[in-house]
Structure 1
Amino acid sequence: MPTSAIPTVDLSPFFTAGDDESCRKKCKDLIAEACSDYGFFQIVNHGVPLDLINQAMELSKTFFNYNDEVKRECSSSPDSPLPAGYNKQPDHSPDKNEYLLMFPPESPFNVLPTNPPDFRHRSSKELLRSDGENTENGRSVSPTTTKILEEMFKYFVTTCEILEAIINDCLGLPPNFLKEYNNDRSWDFMVTMRYLPATESENNGITEHEDGNLITIVLQEDIEGLEVCKDGEWIPVIPSKGTLAVNLSDAIQVLSNKKFKSATHRVVRPKGRHRHSYVFFYNLQGDKWVEPLPNFSSAIGVKPKYRGFYYKDYQALRMRNKTHPPSTPEEIIRIAHYEI
């Protein structure tokens, strides 16, 4: 049985006005410790409304209950430069899940579903016909149609910006350093996922891995399955109403020269039922150069543990892991590829 538990941090001091610096410092200390020990923590009072979370999860379940033909109506075309919309893991993949991927709301690459009606956003102006009647695909709809996917995306961005500022301070970097370094939000993306029920012979949802971006947020439903590895032990990230899981990713591990960890994690599928989640990836722009910062290497007389690389090159290698699966686990490209 696991002997450790993932820390939970209350972010409310960062959403309240006034001088609450002692509470903010306590939060930062907890996060700094979690980033050093686990690369993973959970947050409450994070700014994402609970009613929006509940609606998003229910609409996700409704969407994935449609048959494959309906779901594939919002798949991107084979020649699309980015895999937006609905996708399902191929039968030969060890990962057993299907997902809907969304880039920032203004992205021209998004392919969002029209059903359930409240899942995607159509602006009131777009819905309003010249005769004053509001329609979508021939149906009468309210001009206040809930913008669930876009609202979730925007709230996740805001929460990540707060986390980024906290991590910046935890690392002792100059004010706003990470914000200025990572100032392009066009590469962020969000997926809503459904994992198939486990079988008698296997239960892999997502194979153990680290994320390649900066910060990842996970919204789980009330079903366990997400696990993080610490010292060879797999620790469950226990879901709780209104709680979000946060993991640091490879870019932070490289920038900090391993001061903070990129968490190794996996998803184990439950028996007898599907499992749903939302995952938000707070990304770097592809042309960004990533290497250990002097603050954690040359400036303190420590050798860099990684050679530098362009973020887009690393992402291309990670994508090749999926499109051309290696024959052995040892051949999978991970951040260790750049280790010195």
Structure 2
Amino acid sequence: MEIPTVDLSDFLRDEGETSKEGKKKAINTIKEACSDYGFFQIVNHGVPLDLMIQAVHLSKIFFAFSDDEKLKYSPESGAPLPAGYNKQPENSPDKNEYLLMFQPQSGFNNLPTTPHGFREVVEEMFMHLRKTGELIEKILNECLGLPHDFLKEYNKERSWDFMAALRYFPATETENNGITEHEDGNLVTFVIQDEVGGLEVKKDGQWIPVVPAQATIVVNLGDVIQVLSNNKFKSATHRVVRYKEKNRHSFAFFFTVEGDKWVEPLPQFTDEIAEKPKYKGFLYKDYQAMRMRNKTHPPSRPEDAITIKHYAIE
């Protein structure tokens, strides 16, 4: 079993050069993947390959710095999320370190200027991935049969988008977990992974490896789209496993919604089709605060972590 790969080239060409059949095929593939398990991959997505390669290369150099050097870029106070260098607590089941960054010029970034060019490269990739997010959002809008530009208008405030460069440590003799089984809390996530791999998605109770492929970006849906669609589209369950003697490097871009946005099942998937809502409504920032606490103060039992089930209506 493999994760479907979708060619987006027809969505990026001038109108007169596009193939309606190519677009239709892509939309149908994405719709099926989102209904089944919320995961797919994209190629010809508009993010330059040399930029992706350079970003991963420079992140490897950064994470190889000493702890003292990396700690110079620890989060600044006052940020809505801990932007800058972070490492998972010792008692966390997840074994990684990461550099969290917001949109360029947000005022909350604490990005390193070394290695040379790192800041400029990640900021450029941030802007490219945001455009990719807007394209996927448009495609999802069509897949869900929503009115034209509905999701764009619902989600036009982009100040809460963020990106993370991550390093997962090599597996030990007794433990190979990189990040535990989970779903993302945002709208949609894009992942660029190095050649090591380790990302897996759950479908029908089985774990499917997402094999790294050059120029390919992994896309997974998050909790917001699952709630808005009243479970028509799935928030992808995924994890990262580690390999012995190998660090894993990746970038994750979180295309999300603004903190004060009210999230609840849309009437198109409830009242208008006589379906009961499967979730209570909530403020996005409240949910994110609880999810962040999962990371900063991991519960003693992983099953006690707050997930979207917290808002589920039985």
- TM-score, length basis structure 1: 0.89
Distance (whole Å) between structure 1 residues aligned to residue 144 and residue 54 of structure 2:
36
Q: Distance in 1 between matches of 2:173 and 2:310?
A: 35
1:249-282 CA-partner distances (Å, limit 9, x unpaired):
0000000000000011000011111010000000
1:298 alignment partner, one of 236, 250, 271? 271
Give the fraction of aligned pairs with identical amino acids, expressed as a percent.
65
Q: Find the aligned partners of 1:81 and 1:251 in 2 and give their Cα distance.
A: 19
- Residue in 1 that maps onto 2:8: 11
Q: Which residue of 1 aligns with 2:147?
A: 174
Q: CA deviation at 1:77?
A: 3.4
- Give the CA deviation at 1:55: 0.7
* Structure-2 separation of matches of 1:279 and 1:319: 16
Per-residue CA shift, 1:191-237, capped at 9, x if unaligned? 00111000010011111110000000000111120001111111111
Of the three residues 280, 289, 298, the one matched with 1:307 is 280
CA distance in 1, matches of 2:54, 2:291: 33
The reply to whether residue 30 of structure 1 matches residue 29 of structure 2 is yes
State the secondary structure of the residue aligned to 2:21: helix
Partner of 1:83, secondary structure, is coil
2 CA distance for matches of 1:198 and 1:244?
Answer: 25
Q: Which amino acid aligns with 1:49?
A: P
Instruction: Name which of structure 1's ranges 159-168 and 329-338 shifts more when overlaid on structure 2.
Output: 329-338
After superposition, the Cα gap between the structure-2 partners of 1:171 and 1:79, relative to the gap in structure 1 and judged at 3 Å, is closer
Counterpart of 2:42 in structure 1 is 43
Equivalent residue pairs, number: 311
1:55 alignment partner in structure 2: 54
Unaligned runs of 5+ in 2: none
Is 1:278 aligned to 2:251, yes or no? yes
Alignment of 1:87-102 (within 5 A): 87-102=86-101
AA matched with 1:59: L
**1-structure distance, mates of 2:237, 2:311:** 17
Displacement of 1:330: 2.8
Deviation (angstroms), 1:13 = 0.5
Deviations 1:22-79 (A, max 9, x none): 2111110000001011200001111000111111111011111111111111112356
> Which of 295, 301, 316 does residue 289 from structure 2 map onto?
316
Distance 1:184 1:13 in 2: 27
Residue 184 of structure 2 corresponds to residue 187 of structure 1: no
Counterpart CA distance in 1 for 2:312 and 2:270 is: 14
Greater Rg by CA: 1
The equivalent of 1:213 in structure 2 is 186
Q: What is the CA distance between 1:150 and its match in structure 2?
A: 0.7
Match of 1:242 among 215, 220, 226: 215
Which of structure 1's runs of 4+ aligned residues deviate more than 6 A? none
What CA distance in whole angstroms lies between the structure 2 residues aligned with 1:274 and 1:101?
A: 18
Indicate the SS of the match to 1:114: coil
TM-score by length of 2: 0.97
The whole-number CA distance in structure 2 between the counterparts of 1:84 and 1:180 is 27
